[in-house]
Homo-oligomer: A and B are copies of this chain.
Amino acid sequence: MERSTGISLSKTGIEPLYKQLFDQIVARILSRAFPAGYRLPPTRLLATELRTNRNTVVRAYADLEAAGFVASTVGRGTFVALDVASAPPAADPAGGGLPWASLVASSSKLEVLRRSQRFSRGGPGRDVVNLTQMQPPADLLPDRLIRRCLDHVMQTQGSRALGYATPEGLPSLRQLIVADLARQGVPAHADDVLITTGSQQGIDLVARALIAPGDTFLVDAATYAGAINVFSLAGARLVPVASDAEGPEMAALERLTRVGAKGFYLMPNCNNPTGAEISAARRKSLVAWSRRACVPLIEDDYGSDLWLGETAPPPALRALNGDVIYMSTFSKKLVPALRIGFIVCPRKLRPVLVGIKRTVELGTSLLLQYVLAEFLERGYLRAHLNKTLPEYRLRRNALEQALMRHLPPGMKWRRPERGLVLWLPLPLGVDSESVFEEALRRGVLVGPSALYEVETRAERGLRLTFCAEPAERLALGARRLGEALRAMGKPQRRPREAVELQAV
């Protein structure tokens, strides 16, 4: 006769009874209350003990066997199959004998790779307002819609969604992305689309396809820090291109025509960090220059769909020329944890990019590709934007109003009509890193222009994101930033740390 198992089922819970039973038996196997070889009670007996239907027990036992926790033999019964005896903890071996500093390749020791870290620290033990995070806040992530899509994919695809993906990416997802791009006026064929694990990987694939160590690569004078890092890691010699009100200066580009650059990386709709948009006329000039100078344009549309104003952007560079490498991501407008971006490739470059993608990562998670395809198929993306864009507009307005109220007089900025950042130019002679430090001391984290520069001759300013904090926190951040800027206008006391250092 079996002893009582101590199991009890809740008939009012939302979890089905067979799942409750499964979970409780697993817990007993893992705690070794049911050791390896232990015979589970016969289904009829356990059903009686639990006052439940015998089918509930049969279903739970079948699931336990399918999962590998138990094995059953006809006529003999069901036995615990899992041996959970744990190994003795292994001793940590000695290391430190190798000269790692000289083994590490010089490209991965670049100062630039450590810059992002230096400027991303928060204040110790303080409530810091974060004006540097560029990701949707938790309350604007569509967790319920994602869950519906996950449920549906697991129910309809099952284990078909759990294998390896092809390096190019799921055909249905590529087709849906093409349809979504058509809505935005960007022409593409599914055959030209390559799915990437976030657009960061997209930039990396392009860098590795084009850049040999020592090659010249062009970027905006103020540009995305993550792109500076990727191009530097590939060994590029980065040359910054200055901008005027319409976009990159054509005279500067003409001077660079004979340099033989391998590419020019741009964010035409919404530069990160400055938020600047390239005019329609300048886009045409850029495409013509690219063809003449034989320098590919890389168009990063990370802020696609994040339109806060009334007007659509000018036509994409990709809409003007099929040799433009266009890339975008679903991390900013939808969900970072999907880790899905894409490249629209020039046809001749595609096999090279696919080959590198296969080499460095095999393929992007098939499960997450199915989930995003389902999300797009159901029309959820556009509904989600319908909900999030008004909220981002509110936050932008809140930040602007607070800046107008709290900043020293005379400071001006351009109203952001796209994307999630506001660029605040600093008065001449004010050092962005010093503002960063002073602001952090007062409890607000901002992005200093030093972080976005290849050379330190770019316009000095601060990047302020308005997506990650609610309106009242944005106002608090603006007030603290105003205090920091006012304090820096006054004669400075010698910093306490410096005094202590001298005393040592």
C-alpha spacing A170/B186, complex, angstroms? 37
C-alpha spacing A349/B98, complex, angstroms? 10
User: Would you call A388 and B143 a contact (CB within 8 A)?
Assistant: no
Q: Which stretch (A64-72, A266-274, A454-462) binds chain B? A: A64-72
User: Would you call A379 and B30 a contact (CB within 8 A)?
Assistant: yes
Name the residue on B nearest A65 (C-beta): B387
Knowing A186-B90, A364-B339, say if A98 contacts B296 (CB, 8 Å). Answer: yes
C-alpha spacing A95/B148, complex, angstroms? 40
User: Would you call A100 and B346 a contact (CB within 8 A)?
Assistant: yes
Q: Residues of B contacting A209 with CB < 8 Å?
A: 104-105, 108
CB distance from A220 to the nearest CB of B (A): 19
Q: Which stretch (A226-234, A299-307, A392-400, A491-499) binds chain B? A: A226-234
Q: Which stretch (A160-168, A410-418, A431-439, A477-485) binds chain B? A: A160-168
Q: Residues of B contacting A107 with CB < 8 Å?
A: 208, 212
Knowing A95-B323, A212-B105, A229-B359, say if A139 contacts B113 (CB, 8 Å). Answer: no
Interface assignment of A213: CB less than 8 Å from any CB of chain B: yes
Interface assignment of A183: CB less than 8 Å from any CB of chain B: yes
Interface assignment of A97: CB less than 8 Å from any CB of chain B: yes
Q: Please encode chain A, from 148 to 178, with 1 for each CB lying within 8 Å of some chain B CB and 0 for all others.
A: 1011001000111111110000000000000
User: Would you call B322 and A103 a contact (CB within 8 A)?
Assistant: no
User: Would you call A294 and B95 a contact (CB within 8 A)?
Assistant: no
Q: Which stretch (A46-54, A195-203, A246-254) binds chain B? A: A195-203
Interface assignment of A386: CB less than 8 Å from any CB of chain B: yes
Instruction: Point out the residue from B69, B185, B230, B322 that lies within 8 Å of A95, measured CB to CB.
Output: B322
User: Would you call A352 and B109 a contact (CB within 8 A)?
Assistant: yes
Instruction: Point out the residue from B162, B230, B339 that lies within 8 Å of A336, measured CB to CB.
Output: B162
Q: Residues of B contacting A105 with CB < 8 Å?
A: 208-212, 215, 262
Name the residue on B nearest A92 (C-beta): B187
Instruction: Point out the residue from B154, B233, B318, B348 that lies within 8 Å of A96, measured CB to CB.
Output: B348
Interface assignment of A89: CB less than 8 Å from any CB of chain B: yes
C-alpha spacing A165/B198, complex, angstroms? 12
User: Would you call A358 and B95 a contact (CB within 8 A)?
Assistant: no
Instruction: Point out the residue from B113, B290, B367 that lies within 8 Å of A337, measured CB to CB.
Output: B367
Q: Residues of B contacting A336 with CB < 8 Å?
A: 162-164, 366
Q: Residues of B contacting A189 with CB < 8 Å?
A: 92
User: Would you call A379 and B68 a contact (CB within 8 A)?
Assistant: no
Knowing A143-B154, A187-B91, A296-B103, say if A66 contacts B165 (CB, 8 Å). Answer: no
Interface assignment of A489: CB less than 8 Å from any CB of chain B: no
Q: How many residues of A contact B (CB 8 A)?
A: 131
Knowing A106-B212, A113-B355, A386-B81, say if A87 contacts B323 (CB, 8 Å). Answer: no
User: Would you call B365 and A113 a contact (CB within 8 A)?
Assistant: no
Interface assignment of A194: CB less than 8 Å from any CB of chain B: no
Q: Which of A24-70 contact B (CB under 8 A)?
A: 26, 29-30, 63, 66-69
Q: Residues of B contacting A226 with CB < 8 Å?
A: 359, 362
User: Would you call B233 and A319 a contact (CB within 8 A)?
Assistant: no
Q: Which of A202-241 contact B (CB under 8 A)?
A: 204, 208-213, 215, 226, 229-230, 233, 235
Interface assignment of A119: CB less than 8 Å from any CB of chain B: no
C-alpha spacing A93/B287, complex, angstroms? 12
Interface assignment of A405: CB less than 8 Å from any CB of chain B: no
Q: Footprint of B on A, CB under 8 Å?
A: 19, 26, 29-30, 63, 66-69, 81-82, 84, 86-87, 89-101, 103-109, 113-114, 116-117, 135-136, 138-139, 141-148, 150-151, 154, 158-165, 182-187, 189, 197-198, 200-201, 204, 208-213, 215, 226, 229-230, 233, 235, 262-263, 290-291, 294, 296, 318-324, 331, 335-339, 346-349, 352, 355-356, 358-362, 364-368, 378-380, 382-388
| A-B contacts besides A103-B263, A105-B210, 6 pairs, CB < 8 Å | A67-B387, A92-B322, A94-B322, A96-B347, A103-B294, A139-B159
